[in-house]
Amino acid sequence: MKARTNMSDLVIAGRTFRSRLIVGTGKYPSHAIMKAAHEESGADMVTVAVRRVDISRKTESLLDYIDTSKIFLLPNTAACYTADDAIRTARLGREAGMSNWVKLEVIGDEQTLFPDNEGLLEATRVLVKEGFIVLPYTNDDPVMCRKLAEAGAAAVMPLGAPIGSGLGIQNPNNIRIIREQAKVPVIVDAGVGTASDAAVAMELGADGVLMNTAIAGATDPVMMARAMRLAVEAGRLAYLSGRIPRKSYATASSPLRGVVGS
Amino acid sequence: MTIKLNGDSHDIPQPLSVSALLAALEIDPRRVAVEHNLTVVKKTAYDSAIVGDGDEVEIVNFVGGG
C-alpha cells in the first residue's frame, strides 16, 4: 500500500504555502549560505526585518539573495517595544515589500524578548483595521491566542521557548490546547533548537513552524535546513497518522502462540 | 538647509522631492520605504512629496531577521 501522504498545503488568509516551515533571514554566516539554506529548507515564506538604510556605506542588499518569485517575504516588527512603533514599522514594511502581511512583534522585556500582550493586542486591532494580514508572535497562552484571533489575526504564532534560546517546546500542553481551540492556523515561532523540536511542534498539531537561529546558527546551516524540512514533514505525518496511546507496560509485538519449546 | 535623515542631520541644497533625495543618496527607490514627518510616502508620490528644511525623513529597507 502506498503511504497516503496527506501533507495538504498550509493556507493562511487564503494564500497557499507548499511548505509548513517558515524560516528567517538573520544571522547567517553569509548571504550565499542563507540562500543555500533557504533552498534546502523548502520554505516558501521567509521573515525579514525593517531597518534604516545605512546612508554612509553601501551594503549588499538582502533581496539579491532571495528569489521573491518563489519566496514570499514576511516583514517583521522585531525590536518594537510599543504598539505605536510596531504599527509604524508595519506600515513601512508594507511600502517596502508591497504586501500587507506582517509578523507582528511587540516586545515586553529585553532579556526574554517575551511579547507585551496589551501592546500586541492593540497593534493587532489597529493593523487589521488598516487591512493588514497580521501574524502575531505571542506567548504560548491559549487565552491570548483566542483574543488575537478574535481581533482579526490571520494566524497565531505562539513561542515554543524564548527567541534564539534553542530550548525546544517548553509547554507542549499549551501548544496542543492552542491548536485545539484556535480557529486560525497555529505557527510555533521561536525556541526550536534542533530537528526533534520542530517535529514535536508539528506532532502537537501545529500548522507550521517558524525558526531562524536554529538554522542560521548551526555549524552547517544548509544541512540543518534540510534536517528541519524533514522534521517538519515527519512531525506533520505523525500528527495526521494518529499515534498510539501511551501505556505504562509492555504489549508484545510478536505472537505469543507457537513459541518454540512451549 | 538641514533635514533629519535616519536620525542624523543631513544638509540639502534646496527643497527636494523624495525621488531627488533618493537619487542624491544613490538609493534604489524600488527597494526602500520612506517616511516623511512620520507619514509613509507611497512610491507613486515620490516625485510630488517635497522634503524641506527641518523635515524628518526615514529611509528603511529589508535586512536579515527572524
Supply the pTM of this predicted model.
0.93
φ, ψ of residue A231 in degrees (nearest 5): -65, -40
CATH 3.40.50.1100 is held by the domain B2-60 = no
What number is the average pLDDT over the span A175-191?
A: 97
Q: Based on the residue annotation, tell me whether A58 is a catalytic residue of this protein.
A: no
Whole-complex ipTM: 0.95
What number is the average pLDDT over the span A91-112?
A: 96
Residue A70, SS3 per DSSP: coil
pLDDT digits (tens, 9 = 90+) for A54-97: 988 777 889 999 999 999 999 999 999 999 999 999 999 999 98
Q: How far apart are the C-alpha atoms of A187 and A210, rounded to whole Å? A: 7
Interchain CB distance below 8 Å, A27 and B35: no
B65 interaction partners in chain A (CB closer than 8 Å): 24-26, 47-49, 76, 78, 212
Whether B31 has its CB under 8 Å from any CB of chain A: the answer is yes
Catalytic choice (A35, A103, A129, A147): A103
DSSP 8-state assignment for residue A9: -
Class of domain A20-51+61-241: alpha beta
Q: Which helix (H) or strand (E) holds A137?
A: strand A133-138
Contact A242, A52 (CB under 8 A): no
Domain locations along chain A: 20-51+61-241
pLDDT digits (tens, 9 = 90+) for A141-174: 999 999 999 999 999 999 999 999 999 999 999 9
